[in-house]
Amino acid sequence: MNLLEVVVASALFAGSACGSAQICALATASVAQDEHDQQLLERSDAALAVVEATLRQQPRPPLPQANCPLETQRLAAVVGLLPVPAGLSRRLGQSEAGTQLLVTVVAAGLGEPRTRLYSPAALGLCRREVTRATA
């Protein structure tokens, strides 16, 4: 083997080793980012679980009123007082009829919001008005 063959072989070896190291580094960075995203989504779910637990602990009146929109506003105020974990943002809204609370938690940097719809009637805080169809 002459000197030229040794130099070419070592250059090829060094190039392939460098490329392999870069691929490994990219794969490691991708896995780390995926784990970070998964942790943010788990924190989003945990934040929604806290909201649900808080809503379920609200005192129920002995005779629920028929004013679900008022109860929805009260629940929105209660949820608005809960702390929002770092890295997350929370949006509150209501259904078109105003009888359900819409809670959306978004993790910073992720486009996948977690959304839950809570009904005061389902929580026993108000009763639905039943309309009867007339014949």
pLDDT band at 128 (very low <50, low <70, confident <90, very high): low
How far apart CA 77 and CA 71 sit, in angstroms, is 10
* pLDDT average, residue stretch 13-40: 78
Helix axis angle, 68-81 to 3-56, nearest 10°:
130
Q: How confident is the model at residue 49 (pLDDT cuts 50, 70, 90)?
A: very high
pLDDT of the residue at 85: 87
The pLDDT value recorded for residue 134 is 52
Under 8 Å between Cβ of 56 and 14: no
- Kindly report, residue by residue over 53-106, the tens digit of the pLDDT: 998 888 877 766 767 788 888 899 999 999 988 888 999 998 888 888 999 999
Beta bridge partners of 94: 101
**Tokens standing for 68?**
């679900």
Tokens for 96, please give them. 């078109």
CB 45, CB 116: distance < 8 Å:
no
SS3 92: strand
